Amino acid sequence: MIQVNRSGEVWVFAEQEDGSLHDVALELCGKARQLADRLRVPMAAVLAGWQVRPLASRLIAHGADKVYLVENQRLAIYQTAPYAEVLIRLIEKYQPQILLYGATYLGRDLAPRVASAVRAGMTADCTDLDIADLTDPRSKQVHPKLLLQIRPAFGGNIIATIVNYDRWPQMATVREGVMAMWPPDSSRRGEIIEEHVPLDGLTEVVRIIERHQEPRKVNLKGARVIVAGGAGVGSKENFRLIHELASAIGGAVGASRAAVDNGYIGKEHQIGQTGTTVRPALYIAAGISGAVQHRAGMEESAKIIAINIDREAPIFSVAHYGIVGDLKKVIPMMIQALKERQGIKVGPPA
């Protein structure tokens, strides 16, 4: 068990696969850098794998002061036991005060296993992190500079703030895409520290027989996000905006019947009674007035954003968010806001 220690570093588990870093690792570097500055301690990334040394410089460019590098052939393909062993040994050796993982399938397989072994707290799927001095409401004791682990719970109906008063490291998985990725600074200097964690003693109790990675493909039925355009888009040229927003947000392109009839896009993109019925997590309707036939095909979407110049358009009756305005101005603003979050064209926060 690790006790509370104020000099411990802030760590990020640098998830990588087949020699490339997962985006979430770089997003976490940005957040961990901020937290480490607030705590006035170094920020380090733990990079485990086989022949992954070239990735260390990217972690440094994204904010790491140190990279703990563990290379071993048994780490070539992710497996729970050897990866957990690496983290357990390094945590015991260096006693970091914070350790963040991406809330990916891999992170959520690994992190709780490690937490159990070091008997530390573990908070899943955080959407925000902060540092604050807190008073334990039970003991009335003041705890300086704790990590606030903020996450939705109860099916997303509440937001809970979780803290670890007395047992560290403070560990959390963080949802992908929530923390902004800062642009890399290649002039940053950092230290690569090679670590040897013996893994030969681990018996092989899990074998991977076959792996399959699906190519990323988007279809209307399976899309989490759909950006759809209607007659209000005005022309085939303007319809490019719909494609650009869909691409920036990682969604599929949909259309109303009017947009298809006007020849802005093919019929396979049509949503509504005579097209495809969809229920994505987010549906953005741009320049779609919202005839009942269209609404029937999309009103079950979890979140609906309507963009229309006409305040009286029926689409607003099913919308959760309404933007009354010109889509030719609003869509570029949305693309810009998304790019800012992805760390393009913005500097690190002061």
Partner 1 sequence: MPYDCIVCVKQVPDTTNITGDAMKEDGTVNRAALPAIFNPEDLNALEAALEVKYRYGGTVTAISMGPPKAAEILRDCLYRGADRVILLTDRRAAASDTLATSYILSQAIRTIGQYDIVLCGRQAIDGDTAQVGPQLAEKLGLPQITYMERFWGIDGGWLRGRRNTGRGWEDVEAKLPVLVTVLGHANIPRPPSARRMMRFKHARAEAELRAEIAQEHPGISDSALEEELGRRKQKLAELGLLIDQWDLDKIGADLGRCGLAGSPTKVFRVQSIVLTKKGYTEIPPTPEGIRQLIHELVVDRTLG
- In the complex, the smallest distance separating the C-beta of residue 194 from partner 1, rounded to whole angstroms, is 27
CB nearer partner 1, residue 56 or residue 146: 146
Among 140, 196, 216, 217, binds partner 1 (CB under 8 A): 216
Whether omega before 169 lies within 30 degrees of 0, making that bond cis, reads yes
**C-alpha pair distances (Å), 226 with each of 243, 318, 339:** 10, 15, 18
Q: Does 321 bind partner 1 (CB under 8 A)?
A: yes
Q: What are phi and psi of 16, to 5 degrees?
A: -140, 155
Q: Does 154 bind partner 1 (CB under 8 A)?
A: yes
57 to 96, contacts with partner 1 by CB under 8 A? 80-81, 84
97 to 126, contacts with partner 1 by CB under 8 A? 104-106, 108-113, 115-117, 119-125
Residues linked to residue 153 through DSSP beta bridges, in sequence order:
158
Task: Give which of 152, 21, 29 is closest to 98, Cα–Cα.
Answer: 29
Q: Does 336 bind partner 1 (CB under 8 A)?
A: yes
- In the complex, the smallest distance separating the C-beta of residue 235 from partner 1, rounded to whole angstroms, is 20
Sort strands 142-153 and 128-135 into parallel, antiparallel or unpaired.
antiparallel
Among 50, 57, 128, 131, binds partner 1 (CB under 8 A): 128
Q: Is 289 within 8 Å of 315 (Cβ atoms)?
A: yes
CB nearer partner 1, residue 121 or residue 230: 121
Q: What b/e string do you get for 1-16 counting C-beta neighbours within 10 Å, with b at 16 or more?
A: ebebeeebbbbbbbbb
CB nearer partner 1, residue 174 or residue 260: 174
- In the complex, the smallest distance separating the C-beta of residue 219 from partner 1, rounded to whole angstroms, is 15
CB nearer partner 1, residue 209 or residue 350: 209
Considering CB under 8 A, how many residues would be counted as binding partner 1?
85
- In the complex, the smallest distance separating the C-beta of residue 8 from partner 1, rounded to whole angstroms, is 15
Window contacting partner 1 (CB under 8 A); options: 30-38, 40-48, 163-171, 232-240: 163-171
221 to 280, contacts with partner 1 by CB under 8 A? 225, 249
Q: Which residues lie closer than 8 Å to 39 by C-beta, 6 or more apart?
A: 6, 10, 97, 131, 145
Alpha carbons within 13 angstroms on the beta-carbon side of residue 310 total 13
Window contacting partner 1 (CB under 8 A); options: 43-51, 128-136, 233-241, 258-266: 128-136
Among 155, 198, 347, 349, binds partner 1 (CB under 8 A): 155
How far apart, in whole angstroms, are the C-alpha atoms of residue 102 and residue 28? Answer: 7
Tell how far CA 338 is from the center of its chain: 13
